[in-house]
Every structure is written in structure tokens, then in C-alpha cells.
């Protein structure tokens, strides 16, 4: 019986593991991918206090190592199901059932599709959601970046070091990103911006060979064609919370995230949610880490209350 099982080793999960271990809880952190979660796909993280311009993979690994050094255990694999039991919870991991007094779910979020025709068909064949993962395939080629937020600008900057031409497609008449990020992006000679522009459709045989664009005000459309494989589309339009594991036990906010109280507690006693899967106005590394610390502390208090009442 674990005191706590933490699901996810992103900033929220690793921080929860760290704080739980420092509170002398027997804690297991389970991750299906690599430490860092979404930040592991970011070339650069420049807004985490004290660690400017750190790589996403490095930051995720540092967080995992810190938690492990404090006494948290880590296991890699898929979480199949969470069940409320008596007492505590049953968590199915890699075909095995583990028991825990509390569960902290920090399953994060996944990239949100832009919604244009052909997007799913050409995923991995010209459509990407990770510049760090796939940017190398477009060295000296043309890339179109969909999005106007901080992530789009950061990934556009990264791609500008690889691609011959970077075209930013911003559906509004201005960026939503911070002024500093935008200024750095616009200073690159190989970056151009098309405001009030969206992709309507991508077509091709094996890879994308044409893109249909629409002006969002006039609704006028135009098509650009190119040799298949010579251009790619990178989509950065936000993220959707990953919540399927906890759906039977929680309520949701309008953004699809889990509603918790200030202690990260859900509708189900002993079940806590932290990080980007929560319903919240800001999803950043620092807010995820804060959620993880609060959730682990609340889990400790909850376990203490169980002991006192037993």
C-alpha cells in the first residue's frame, strides 16, 4: 500500500513526488513517456524563475532527479484505470494493480488540433505539433506555424534556426504572445507573419502538396502549392486537458479541465488533481509545479486525518 501514487512526471507530478517524499510518504510516480511531460517537447523554457533559457528535456529530467533523490520512486508505463476502493484506491499499471491511500493525477494536456480539413490525414506526414521533435525534417525548407500565443512564437523562433522560411499564421490581427517573444520573432530575417489568416485545407499524395488559406475577415481563399515534402505545418493552438482516468470521480470546468478546491482536492476524498489537467486560467510550468506542491501537502494532511480517525 503506497501512501500516494502520482500519475504523470511533468512539472506537477515530479513536484508532487518531491514534496510527498520530503513529507516521508511512500510515494510512486508513474509516467508513460519521458520526464517533463509537455515541456520535454519544448526546445527552450525561458520563464521558469532562476533557470532562464533551459531546455525542456533538461528541466524535466532535473525535476525527476530531484524528486528521486528525495526518496520518490518512479515507474514507467501506462495507467489503465483508477478505481475507488476501500480503503484508498486501486491503480492498474502495466497489467498490475497497485494500492494507494491517495492518488495525485497530473496527466497534463495534449495539443489541440486546429481543425482544418486534412489535418488528421497528414499528421506525421507534414503536420506536426512539436518543433523540437520534427523540426529537423524541415531544414532549409518552408514551414507554416499556426498560432499566435507564446508557444507558437517560441517554436517559431526554434524553427527559424532550421527552416529556410517560417510563415506565422495568426488568426487575429495581433499576436497573443508577450511583446518580448514577438519582438524576438519579428527580428528574424526568415520569418514573415500573415495576420487574420487560417488554413482551410491541406492536400497531397504522400505528403502535403498544397495548402488552402482563408482571410478571416474577407473570407477570401487562396492556394499555395509546392513539391511534396518541401513544406510542413506546425500547429500550436493550445492544449486540451487529459482527464479520462478521473472522469467518473470529478466535475469539469468550461475549459474541460478538472475543478478542484485550493488544496487540489476533487469531489472524491483522497483524489487530487494538479497541473494542466485542472480548470485554470494559466497553464505554465510554474503553475503546474505549484499545484504539485499543494496537492502533495494536502495528500499528507489527508493521510494524517485517516490515521487520527482510525
- Residues assigned a catalytic role: 130, 133-134
* 57 grid coordinates: 528535456
User: Whose CA is closest to 158, among 179, 133, 124?
Assistant: 133
**What is the C-alpha separation between 236 and 200, in angstroms, rounded?**
16
Query: Which strands sit side by side in the sheet containing 197-204, from one edge to the other?
Result: 197-204, 208-215, 221-225
Q: Do 79 and 92 contact (CB within 8 A), yes or no? A: yes
Alpha carbon distances (Å) from 131 to 103, 155, 176, 222: 33, 6, 19, 26
Q: 93 CB contacts (<8 Å, ≥6 apart)?
A: 30, 75, 77, 78, 79, 80
Name which of 262, 290, 263, 265 is nearest 275 in CA terms: 290
Give the Å distances, CA to CA, from 143 to 13, 153, 233: 33, 13, 6
Cα distance between residue 301 and residue 3, in whole Å: 11
Helix pair angle (150-160, 179-186), 10° resolution: 20
Amino acid at each position: 500500500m503506497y501512501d500516494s501514487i502520482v500519475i504523470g512526471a511533468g512539472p506537477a507530478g515530479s513536484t508532487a513526488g518531491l514534496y510527498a517524499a520530503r513529507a516521508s510518504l511512500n510515494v510512486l510516480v508513474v509516467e508513460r513517456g519521458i520526464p517533463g511531460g509537455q515541456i520535454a517537447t519544448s526546445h527552450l523554457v525561458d520563464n521558469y524563475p532562476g533557470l532562464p533559457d533551459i531546455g525542456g528535456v533538461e528541466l524535466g529530467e532535473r525535476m525527476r532527479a530531484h524528486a528521486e533523490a528525495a526518496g520518490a520512486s518512479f515507474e514507467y508505463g501506462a495507467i489503465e484505470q483508477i478505481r475507488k476502493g476501500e480503503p484508498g484506491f486501486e491503480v492498474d499499471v502495466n497489467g498490475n494493480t497497485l494500492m494507494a491511500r491517495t492518488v495525485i493525477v497530473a496527466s497534463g494536456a495534449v495539443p489541440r488540433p486546429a481543425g482544418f480539413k486534412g489535418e488528421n490525414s497528414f499528421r506525421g506526414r507534414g503536420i506536426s505539433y512539436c518543433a523540437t521533435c520534427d523540426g529537423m525534417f524541415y531544414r532549409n525548407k518552408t514551414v507554416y506555424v499556426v498560432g499566435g500565443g507564446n508557444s507558437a512564437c517560441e517554436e517559431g523562433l526554434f524553427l527559424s534556426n532550421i527552416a529556410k522560411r517560417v510563415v506565422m499564421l495568426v488568426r487575429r490581427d495581433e499576436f497573443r504572445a508577450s511583446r518580448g517573444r514577438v519582438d524576438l520573432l519579428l527580428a528574424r530575417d526568415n520569418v514573415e507573419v500573415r495576420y487574420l489568416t487560417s488554413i482551410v485545407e491541406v492536400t497531397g499524395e504522400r505528403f502535403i502538396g498544397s495548402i488552402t488559406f482563408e482571410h478571416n475577415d474577407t473570407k477570401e481563399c487562396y492556394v499555395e502549392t509546392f513539391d511534396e515534402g518541401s513544406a510542413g505545418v506546425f500547429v500550436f493552438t493550445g492544449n486540451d486537458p487529459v482527464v479520462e482516468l478521473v472522469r467518473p470521480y470529478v466535475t469539469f470546468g468550461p475549459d474541460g479541465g478538472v475543478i478542484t478546491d485550493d488544496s487540489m482536492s476533487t469531489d472524491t476524498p483522497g483524489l487530487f488533481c494538479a497541473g494542466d489537467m485542472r480548470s485554470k486560467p494559466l497553464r505554465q510550468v510554474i503553475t503546474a509545479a505549484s499545484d504539485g506542491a499543494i496537492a502533495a501537502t494536502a495528500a499528507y494532511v489527508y493521510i494524517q486525518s485517516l490515521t487520527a480517525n482510525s
